[in-house]
Amino acid sequence: MKCDHCRAWKEPKGHMEMEVIEKILDFAVPESRHEIRFTISGGEPLLHPHFFDILKLIKKKINQYGKRLDHVVITTNGSLLTSEMIKKIENLDLGEIFLQVSIDSFEAKVHDKFRHFPGAFHKAKKALEMVTKSKLTPLLRTTIVSKDAINDFRILEEMIKMAQETGVGKISFGPVIPTGKAQMNQDMMLKPLEKKAFIEKLLILKRKYPNIGISTEDPVKFSVCPKEWDFGEFDYSKSDFIGGCSAGVTNMNVFSNGIITPCSMLQEPIVNVIGKSSSQIRKEYIASDVIKNLVERNVDGKCKTCKIKRLCGGCRATAEGISGNYLAEDPTCWMVKK
């Protein structure tokens, strides 16, 4: 597929080598404080020739280091998924595995056009239906590809209804982030008041449909009724609290060429794992100014003085995609600088 918002458009085109994956796990797994979560993404991860070996290796390393695996998320466009694949994943006994399928519209023609792939919608819908009948947990991921969704309340609601009718218990909505191909078409980006309208409408739907998990990863959501989102009851005035944007804080990403970045959208290089030992990787990671700045929330503009800086922090990838500075204020936030 050749999606209009593809973050992987400029990423290295190649399968991640198994020895690189093992090196990453030997670095990351021992560093986890409590439970650890993995997302296997791409491109399309089901294209990897050793996809099932990767899952087996995760299980092996979790057991080797005596850690607790919270869950694994596998993201896919659904085009390659088969019932045989699902059975093989189930038989690995990895605990809870989420299979996240991307569908960007309840209308097949809109989804197919956005992904430049005839039949993409029906393949994705079929994949979700197969997962709902399995032991895996289905997730539906929707990117706001058209600003019509902000003006027409029905569009977001129809996606939720489609998820319910398919048997999916969780749906996540996200705006286009200016990374990769989306940087060339910033008209897809939500402006501040459009972002505010999106968050507010999503919150209304979250209340209207309490039997399905409705969420967004956009940290700016905490500007609207913060306690109704992910964290529940919390005190974000404490200096050791940090939520919202998880890039480089509780999350890291690795590309197929071995370069670690704070997240898949924020592509500031931290360290290349190839040719380095776990102790070398750890030393360079800890010494990284990028990591220090993200953990300490050394952000600029209105994000710097915002009262919910430690709860939200703004999307660092959006800041970098628009201004070229990952520490700049989130340009899609509507909050007035104080």
- Written in H, E and C, the secondary structure of 6-64 is CCCCCCCCCCCCHHHHHHHHHHHHHHCCCEEEEEECCCCHHHCCCHHHHHHHHHHHHHH
Measured between alpha carbons, how far is 272 from 269 in angstroms, rounded to an integer? Answer: 8
- Are 139 and 99 within 8 A, CB to CB? yes
pLDDT of residue 119: 94
The domain boundary, picked from 167, 199, 216, lies at 216
Q: Are residues 204 and 234 in the same domain?
A: no
User: Number of folded domains in the chain?
Assistant: 2
- Are 30 and 282 within 8 A, CB to CB? no
Measured between alpha carbons, how far is 160 from 147 in angstroms, rounded to an integer? Answer: 17
Q: Spell out where 84-135 has E strands.
A: 97-102
Q: Are residues 204 and 289 in the same domain?
A: no
Q: Are residues 312 and 164 in the same domain?
A: no
The domain boundary, picked from 192, 216, 240, lies at 216
- Are 329 and 316 within 8 A, CB to CB? no
Q: Are residues 205 and 224 in the same domain?
A: no
Q: Are residues 268 and 306 in the same domain?
A: yes
Encoded tokens for 2: 């050749």
- Per-residue pLDDT reduced to its tens digit, 233-278: 777 777 777 888 999 998 999 998 899 999 999 989 999 999 999 8
Q: Are residues 23 and 76 in the same domain?
A: yes
Q: Are residues 204 and 325 in the same domain?
A: no
pLDDT of residue 330: 95
Q: Are residues 224 and 240 in the same domain?
A: yes
Q: Are residues 51 and 195 in the same domain?
A: yes
pLDDT of residue 42: 84
Look up tokens 């969704």; give the residue.
Answer: 149
The amino acid that residue 102 corresponds to is S
Q: Are residues 187 and 247 in the same domain?
A: no
Nearest to 150 by CA among 110, 187, 195, 214: 195
The amino acid that residue 187 corresponds to is D
pLDDT of residue 213: 94
What residues make up the domain containing 51?
1-216
pLDDT of residue 237: 73
Ordered mean pLDDT values, 10 residues apiece, the chain (338 residues) = 79 86 94 88 92 96 92 94 95 91 90 90 95 95 78 84 94 88 79 92 93 93 82 72 88 92 93 92 96 94 90 93 94 80
pLDDT of residue 267: 87
Give this prediction's pTM.
0.91
The sign one gets for the Cα dihedral 42, 44, 50, 55 is positive
Encoded tokens for 138: 């289905």
